Amino acid sequence: MTAYIIRRLLILPLIMVGVSMLIFAMMQFLGPVERSALYIRDFPKTQGQIDAVIKRYGLDDPFLVQYWHWLVGKEDTVTGKTVGGILRGDLGFSRTGREPVIDLLKRRLPVTIELALVSMIPIITIGVWMGMQAALHHNKPIDQAARVFAILGYSFPTFVFGLLVLLIFYAKLGWFPPGRLSTQFALEVGRGGFTNYTNMLTVDSLLNLRFDIFLDALRHMVLPVVTLSYLSWALLLKVTRSSMLEALRQDYVTTARAKGLSERVVTNRHVRKNALIPVATIAGTTVASLLNGVVITETIFDIPGLGSAAAAAALSLDVMTMLAYALFTAVLFVSVNLLVDIMYAVLDPRVRLG
């Protein structure tokens, strides 16, 4: 097991170098004016200013030289200070956020993490449970109802389902509003008496012993969590059901039943563990998508997370923010794939020999 994990960890840096080179290569399609946002906040306007910026920051250097400067930083020929360098946390300046991209990520990412943490629990547990129940009751009413549930989930685009629940539960009933907090509590949080330890309202409200703010924050998260959960349940239900049905038809299951083992023992010891291998892939991808910021859901429910920031950057052609978002996405999915590979080895020891 240890050797398997070490092999995967050794491959990780090579993958990250390749991904980062690909992302940086995309920047080369931009002109030096756009790429200057890596180092300066205001775009040069005259040709003389453009030429000065190109020379000052080496924007006409060979590709590998520019890539190295992008990684570790570039010495400013005027001030002598090192500027840029993603390994130093300098990702350029965000025009939409009017702040350095790294500060934008620090402010927006905890909001997305909070939504992801609250959403992933019902998504994985209920989605897998429904798929297992559908498989164990194959062609029975439970299975038929689960299949209809999954088909409806596939049929609803995210923005349609999100707007529908917003219309019913907020516009009509007034139960669950969008945003992160009610106006009254938002003013209290912004006045300074409330300490933001993590920028996650549910966590910070508990640390501040403000249970009223905690309940209000949870109330505002109900609709986005329901939207994310329902649309993810459909996929997890279908994959889990298919995997379970395939495992139930295997010879080792027939042998276990012939030995007189109870159906519960057969399911828990022999079926479930083997059926969860493909489910782990879908669950890992789902978690990564949540942590990456769900653009449509955050936009519909007015959640100032990473996804809504990426949407605003795309609409404004904010290149530096979009490239930082792409880099974050790459790092996230590569890391999650590594964790999924390790999960494979835990579920199926035969994988460790590969």
Residues 72 and 147 in one domain: no
More confident of the two residues 154 and 123:
123
For 139-164, the pLDDT digits (tens) are 888 888 888 888 887 777 778 888 88
Q: For residue 214, is pLDDT > 70?
A: yes
Tell me the CATH number at 244: 1.10.3720.10
Asked if the model's pLDDT at residue 354 lies above 60, the reply is no
CA distance 188 to 35: 41
Pairing of strands 93-94, 99-100: antiparallel
Domain hosting 288: range is 105-353
Most trustworthy range by pLDDT among 75-89, 147-161, 224-238, 253-267: 224-238
pLDDT of residue 1: 64
Asked, for residue 99, whether it belongs to a domain, the answer is no
Asked, for residue 206, whether it belongs to a domain, the answer is yes
Domain match, 312 and 189 both: yes
Judge if 200 and 327 occupy the same domain: yes
Lowest mean pLDDT among 81-90, 173-182, 193-202: 81-90
The domain boundary residue, chosen from 94, 117, 152: 94
Token pair of 233 as six digits: 């349940």
**Where is pLDDT greater, at 205 or 76?**
205
Kindly state whether residue 100 falls inside one of the protein's structural domains: no
Residue that is last in its domain, among 35, 59, 94: 94
Alpha-carbon distance of 226 to 161, in angstroms, equals 10
pLDDT at 342 over 80: no
Token reading at 173: 């009933």
* Region of poorest pLDDT, from 209-213, 270-274, 328-332: 270-274
Average pLDDT score over the chain: 82
* Confidence at residue 106, expressed as pLDDT on a 0 to 100 scale: 87
The reply to whether 238 falls in a domain is yes
Same domain, 269 and 178: yes
80 and 21: one domain? yes
Reported confidence tier of residue 348, pLDDT bands at 50, 70, 90:
low
Can you give the pLDDT at residue 71? 85
Tell whether the model's pLDDT for residue 352 goes beyond 60.
no
Q: Is the pTM of this model over 0.85?
A: no
Please tell me the distance from the alpha carbon of residue 173 to that of residue 167, in angstroms, as a whole number. 9
Q: Sign of the CA dihedral 127, 128, 131, 133?
A: negative
Render pLDDT for 289-306 as a digit per residue (tens, 0 to 9): 787 767 888 888 888 888
Query: 50 with 188, same domain?
Result: no
- Chosen domain end from 94, 113, 146: 94
Cα-based distances in Å from 88 to 34, 70, 106, 144, 333: 21, 10, 15, 54, 21
Q: Both 62 and 191 in a single domain? A: no
Q: Domain total for the chain?
A: 2
Q: Do 86 and 208 fall into the same domain?
A: no
pLDDT at 215: 92
